A and B are shown apart, each in its own frame.
Chain A
Amino acid sequence: MNNHHGQSQQSSESKHDDDAALTDFLASLMEYTPTVPDELVEHYLGKSGFQCPDVRLTRLVAVATQKFVADIASDALQHCKARQASVVKDKRDKQQKDKRLILTMDDLSKALREYGVNVKHQEYFADSPSAGLDTASRDE
């Protein structure tokens, strides 16, 4: 992608290509259904002062949000996997049930730090009154 900007002599030509690509992408969004529902996006965009009747732009924002969340989630997944891999082998037998990939605040805060979000979470945080009683069964 760098070559678009690096070579300015071809810029008019490449811009034309980019325009076409963008137009195609926006057109393809008409058929694309992002995981983030349109209604949710419209609600929050409307709350922030955004006005646009074009559903393609809503979808574009939805896809961007989805990408953002997915990036964070995949980073957290890597952290999770790395943490599990670092556990010593003899302990791993005991923590067999913990081998499942669970999104925890530990991994999430590590991932979010790279995205400019500082999440400070408590050492022990009770999600609900039943938290800590039977953690394994709750997280099934």
Chain B
Amino acid sequence: MNNGGVNTTTGNETKADAPGGRAKADDFARAVSRVAVAQICEGVGFESVRDSGLDSLSDIAIRYLHDIGKAASFYANISGRTHCNVFDIIRALEDLGNFQGFSGASGVSHCLASSGTVMEILDYAQSAEEVPFNQSIARFPVARDRRLIPSFTQMGETPPGKHVPAWLPALPDPHTYKQTPVWNERKSDLRADKIEQARQRRNAERSLLNLQQRLAQFGSAGASTSNIAQHHQPKELKADEGNPYLTTPLPPGEKEVASVNLPVMLSNGPTKENSLSVLETFAPAIEAVKDRFCEDGDGDDNKVLPDKRPAIHFKFKTGKKVFGQSSDLNLHNKYLSRPVSLIGREEERDDKKRRAEYILRQAMENPQELTQM
């Protein structure tokens, strides 16, 4: 038997397949089947094979194996078994041999043990030369030994229920699968939230007002140079509020570092007059807001209100008021209706304030436009 031709071809091809792209899961099995088919071809009498022919034939061999397995397991399943026996395989072989035909295929109730296909195979096995596979191959696919999850008994734990046997794998730690309820810690008190919001807003406004006041002071004081203003300001802040964030880290005059000041920005602007004009322009708005702060800052002492703003109340009431009421009663009514009117006025004031702030901010950002106003 000419051994060389076939084997070298297959050897070349298995090597040539390797670099072409990524190795697939089936590559090894296909390479093995190529070698086996090449050996069979050699046994039949071929001296050499072409790659395409070898590929097709090994594909067909694999397909044949697969089909036998499928048909045999089908016959096993149809008779209520999971494991196949020899008769399932014989039936499968008969199915696949139907195309070629075999002796006894026409018989309906022939004995499987004496099936023509088996006899043909038997004849072949006895007649054909026994050519074992030329290489020893390991079992594949290689299955790595897995580590089993330890059972309850191995872990030394008791199962959570009597219905769980102790030989079953232990449960993982509870924190990995148990869900613990998460409560919303926040108190959903709408009123408190609103009050808190209002308070924060007032704080913000107050700080803005402070800033504006300071600006106004600087403006009216007529700081001749920006440098003086710079040195002057931190001191004043300290005196005014004692705000630790606004104090100078260095003694004044040592270093000119306090550059987070708005006056600087304003003085860096085109002209000093601009900044002054800004303040003058918005003086009424600022005054209005300031006024409001004074009363709001007093806390919840709302009794000040009727004294402060009687005119508005009268405006509200004039339409519906019954004439001849005593001023006391009038005042009393005012108290009663205060919450409603307060809310309305607050919104109104908020709106006004917001507008004033908006305009002010714009003015700060681009003082150029203010001159045109």
Task: Answer yes or no: do A and B interact.
Answer: yes
Enumerate chain A interface residues (CB-CB to B < 8 A): 1-2, 4-5, 11, 14-15, 18-19, 21-22, 25-26, 28-29, 32-37, 39-53, 56-57, 60-61, 63-70, 72-74, 76-77, 80, 100-105, 107-108, 112, 114-117, 119, 121, 125, 127-128, 139-140
**Chain A residues in 8 Å Cβ range of B85:** 52, 57
Contact A35 B60 (CB under 8 A): no
Say how far A72's CB is from chain B's closest CB, in angstroms.
7
**CB-contact partner of A64 in B48, B93, B111, B137, under 8 A:** B93
A61 → chain B closest CB, angstroms: 5
Given known A-B contacts A1-B119, A69-B37, A103 and B114 have beta carbons under 8 A apart:
no
Q: Determine whether B312 belongs to the interface, using a CB cutoff of 8 Å to chain A.
A: no
| A residues less than 8 Å from B309 (CB atoms) | none
Q: Given A36-B61, A51-B73, A125-B52, verify A1-B47 contact (CB < 8 Å).
A: no
Q: Which residue of A lies closest to B20 (CB)?
A: A128
Is B195 in the interface zone, CB < 8 Å from A?
Answer: no
**How many whole Å from B295's CB to the nearest CB in chain A?**
87
**List of A residues within 8 angstroms of B86 by Cβ:** 22, 26, 56-57, 60
- The CA of A121 and the CA of B50, in the complex, are separated in Å by 13
Residue in B closest to A4 when the chains form the complex, CB atoms: B114
Query: Chain A: which residue is nearest B71 at the CB level?
Result: A48
For the A-B complex with A48-B66, A49-B70, A63-B125 known, give 19 more contacts whose Cβ atoms are closer than 8 Å.
A4-B111, A22-B86, A32-B130, A36-B65, A37-B32, A37-B137, A41-B65, A45-B69, A48-B69, A52-B83, A60-B89, A61-B65, A63-B121, A70-B124, A72-B60, A104-B50, A105-B52, A112-B60, A115-B99
Q: Assuming A1-B119, A69-B57, is B64 touching A39 (CB within 8 A)?
A: no
Q: In whole angstroms, what is the CA distance A104 to B57 when docked?
A: 11
Whether B70 pairs with A48 at a CB distance below 8 angstroms is yes
Contact A103 B48 (CB under 8 A): yes
**A121 to B52, Cβ gap below 8 A?**
yes
B137 touches A39 (CB 8 A): yes
- The answer for the CA separation of A51 and B81 in the assembled complex, in Å, is 10
Residue of B51, B57, B114 near A18 (CB, 8 A) is B114
Contact B39 A103 (CB under 8 A): no
Interface string of B39-68 (1 = CB under 8 A from A): 111011111111111101100111011111
B interface residues, how many (CB within 8 angstroms): 74
Taking a contact as CB atoms closer than 8 A, the residue among B56, B107, B122, B130 that contacts A108 in the complex is B56
Residues facing A in B155-211 (CB within 8 A) are none
Do residues B46 and A69 form an inter-chain contact, with CB atoms below 8 A? no
Contact of B120 among A22, A60, A67, A119 (CB under 8 A): A67
Q: Is B230 an interface residue (CB 8 A)?
A: no
Q: Cβ of B325 < 8 Å from any Cβ of A?
A: no
Tell whether, in the assembled complex, residue B84 and residue A50 are in contact, meaning their CB atoms are under 8 Å apart: yes
Cβ distance A134 to chain B, nearest Cβ, rounded Å = 13
A117-B60 contact in complex given A49-B69, A51-B84, A64-B68, C-beta closer than 8 Å? yes
Query: Within 8 Å CB of B82, what residues of A?
Result: 51
Q: Within 8 Å of chain A (Cβ to Cβ): is B116?
A: yes
Task: Report whether A19 and B61 are in contact in the complex, using a CB–CB cutoff of 8 Å.
Answer: no
Decide: A73 and B57 in contact? CB cutoff 8 A. yes
From the candidates B48, B61, B118, name the one contacting A140 in the complex (CB within 8 A). Answer: B48
Q: Which residues of A contact B48 (CB under 8 A)?
A: 100-103, 139-140
A40 CB contacts on chain B under 8 angstroms:
29, 32-33, 36, 65, 137
Is A70 within 8 A of B128, CB to CB? yes
Closest residue on chain B to residue A101 by CB atoms: B47
A47 contacts B57, CB within 8 Å? no
Q: Is B371 an interface residue (CB 8 A)?
A: no
Distance in angstroms between the alpha carbons of A117 and B63 in the assembled complex: 11
Supposing A25-B122, A26-B86, A60-B89 touch, asked if A49 and B104 sit within 8 A by C-beta, the answer is no
Contacts of A105 in B (CB 8 A): 50, 52-53, 56
